[in-house]
Amino acid sequence: MLSTVWPFCGIPVLPFTSTQSLARLRNHISPWRYLTLLPRQPETPIVLRIPRLAFVITLELHIPQPGAMELSFTKSSSQLLLSPPIGRVIGSGIFSTPSSITDSVGSVGAALLLWAFGLVLAFAGLFIWLELGCMIPRSGGSKVYLEAAYTRPKLLATVVFAFQAVLLGFTASGCIIFASNILVATGHAATEWEKRTIALGVITFVTILHTFFPRLGVRGMNFIGLIKIFTLFFIVVAGWAVLSGSVDRVEDPYASFRNPFAGSATSSNLYATALFKVLNSYAGWSNAANVLNEVRNPVRTLKIAGPLGLGTCGILYLLANISYFSAATPAEISNSGVTVASFFMLKVFGATAARLLAVLVALSALGNVMTVTFAQSRVNQELAKEGILPYPKFWASSWPLGSPGAGLLLHYIPSVIVIAAVPFGDAYAFILDVEGYPGSIVNGFVVLGFFWLRYAAPHTHRPFRCWSPVAVFYLVAQVFLLVAPFLRPPGGKGDTSLPYWLYPVVGIVILLGGVVYWAIWFRILPWYRRYTLVPEHERLSDGTRVVVYKKVLKD
């Protein structure tokens, strides 16, 4: 039912009765292909913005999201699963990356400041995504926001994001951490291919679980979430015990904090590379936006669970790092590899405790893999619904189990390739770097789109508003992260044995690959073969709506 019409430029809109649908609305509005959906909460009207006509129509329509799983996440469940504290943030990062970060920045003080700065930056990003997510509560996250902001050239933003999401959305790093820590727990000196086999087994198990037992997968993520919280709290409490002098194994718990900035790095390249790893550890703040179709009351859930979860997690991260440095020197932390937490327990309580904690860290990494796989499969499904992937009806389908099995498969393939192909020595650090750089490019464009949407649709209802200086600060930080990796570090050596400039180049090439794919598919081939791509909406047997582009020959 058409309830209200708000003409921005005094342009009249034809009235519609309660029996008329969006299909009939399409017949009255010729530039339908330029229409952007800006829905608010599911129970409130949906806002339709048509850029070329510059007006907004508000309709009292309830449009279910076809093909979405029958899962409903409450505020508490979302805080455990979707928002930062458990589901995405507390995974492998805090238990593994402090070694690489300390090795890059060179001192305790610089490392702790970088973790604090990363938390501030994550909060800035969270507030931007909160405004966009509350304004457009649809699954897909950054993809949805880019499409709303960059309507021209048509589908370019979607295709470039798809390349980044599909090719770099793998969970190989979490699988590697699981394999490394479970081997520490068993005390077995495994070969590299044994580690690969374990990592491949993890991603295979998680994919099967989410495909055939989706509800069990959600319950498993929440259960492992509790284990993650317990593990992190245990490390923090153990650190307090060390600092209080109650642990005889540590002779001087304050040794690392005397002259904390001694040996600090001076290269912006090293700080940017380390910051990518810090931000990867905080990456869960945007994860809930990927699955908003399956969150009950998404606006309220985002506004409460997001800041509460990220704040709690950030404090625990800082305390955990202090715990690490209370038991070991910066040099020891730098050399501990991806098993920092187990090394901490070895120093404090001995080998048995180190093995036990390695099991808990492995479970935390498993939970991280489960949550990222869950969310990324929904992003893949949303991309398929846009018709930009080959065989879109296959990738978009939720048949027959109500889970995005094809989207899970699309996530599984690059994860397997990375686990099997990348050398394990530099694999973890390089994967985080490669994931981080194009992610910063996408984030930068999302922030620019954020400002554009405020300018183009100032009257659109926004249940949450981000303070503009916060968005400017976040944009400036993204610019630094994009420029600094190309500055030569001392000795020309980065955090891996690979060239320091390799990971930003790989990230840029992947995004440019999306531009090339879009140009060939949407511009060059239609021009050369003289046809036009016409979008048609089809409904699959499971109710999912998919856009299929048909080739129509020109006269």
β 36-39/55-59 pair status: unpaired
Decide: 432 and 273 in contact? Cβ < 8 Å: no
For residue 548, the SS3 value is strand
Enumerate helices (H) and strands (E) in the chain, giving the number of each: 21, 6
User: Using only C-alpha atoms, what is the Rg of the chain?
Assistant: 24
Q: Would you state the pLDDT for residue 398?
A: 83
For residue 351, give every residue at least 6 positions away whose Cβ sits within 8 Å of its Cβ, in sequence order, or none: none
- Cα of 503 vs its chain's centroid, Å: 18
The closest of 378, 358, 418, 363 to 171, measured between CA atoms, is: 418
Angstrom distance (rounded) from CA 281 to CA 269: 19
DSSP 474-486: HHHHHHHHHHGGG
Confidence at residue 441, expressed as pLDDT on a 0 to 100 scale: 93
pLDDT at 289: 65
Q: What is the three-class DSSP state of 470?
A: helix
CATH superfamily of 75-502: Amino acid/polyamine transporter I (1.20.1740.10)
Tell me phi and psi for residue 176, to 5 degrees: -65, -40
CA–CA gap between residue 322 and residue 324 (Å, rounded):
5
512-534 confidence digits (pLDDT tens): 999 999 999 889 999 999 999 88
**pLDDT of the residue at 69:** 42
489 neighbors 416 (Cβ within 8 angstroms): no
491 phi-psi bin (left φ>0, alpha ψ -120 to 50, beta other): left
State the first-to-last Cα distance of the chain, in angstroms, to the nearest integer.
40
Q: How far apart are CA 5 and CA 459, in angstroms?
A: 12
Cα–Cα distance list, 47 to 26, 38, 54 (Å): 15, 5, 13
What was the pLDDT predicted at 91?
A: 63
pLDDT tens, N- to C-terminus, the chain (555 residues): 333 333 333 333 333 333 334 444 344 333 333 333 443 333 334 444 444 333 333 333 333 344 444 444 444 444 444 433 344 556 678 888 899 999 999 999 999 999 999 999 999 998 998 888 888 877 667 888 898 899 888 889 989 988 888 888 888 888 988 998 899 888 877 788 888 899 999 999 999 999 998 888 888 888 887 888 888 899 999 999 999 988 888 888 999 999 999 989 988 999 999 999 999 888 776 666 656 666 667 777 777 777 888 888 889 999 999 999 999 999 999 988 878 988 999 999 898 888 998 898 899 889 889 988 888 888 888 888 888 888 888 888 887 777 888 889 999 999 999 888 877 666 677 888 888 899 899 999 999 999 999 998 888 888 888 899 999 999 999 999 999 999 988 887 777 778 889 889 999 999 999 999 999 988 999 999 999 988 888 888 878 888 989 888 887
Query: What's the DSSP call for residue 534?
Result: E
What kind and span of H or E run contains 318?
helix 298-327
Q: What is the pLDDT of residue 408?
A: 92
Question: pLDDT of 469-512, one tens digit each?
Answer: 999 999 999 999 999 999 988 887 777 778 889 889 999 999 99
C-alpha 68/C-alpha 479 separation (Å) is: 36
DSSP string of 163-200? HHHHHH---HHHHHHHHHHHHHHHT----HHHHHHHHH
For position 290, what pLDDT does the model report?
59
Kindly state the greatest CA–CA separation across the chain. Answer: 86
3-class SS of residue 367: helix
d(CA 126, CA 147): 19
Q: What pLDDT is stored for residue 112 in this prediction?
A: 96
Distance CA 283, CA 94 (A): 12
Q: Under 8 Å CB-to-CB from 451, ≥6 apart: which residues?
A: 471
Element containing residue 47 per DSSP (H, E): strand 46-50
- Nearest-angstrom CA–CA distance, 442 and 166: 14
Cβ contact 64:209 at 8 Å: no
- Write out the two tokens for 349: 């309580």
Q: Which residues contact 390 (CB under 8 A, 6 or more apart)?
A: none
**pLDDT number for residue 381:** 86
> What pLDDT score does 123 carry?
92
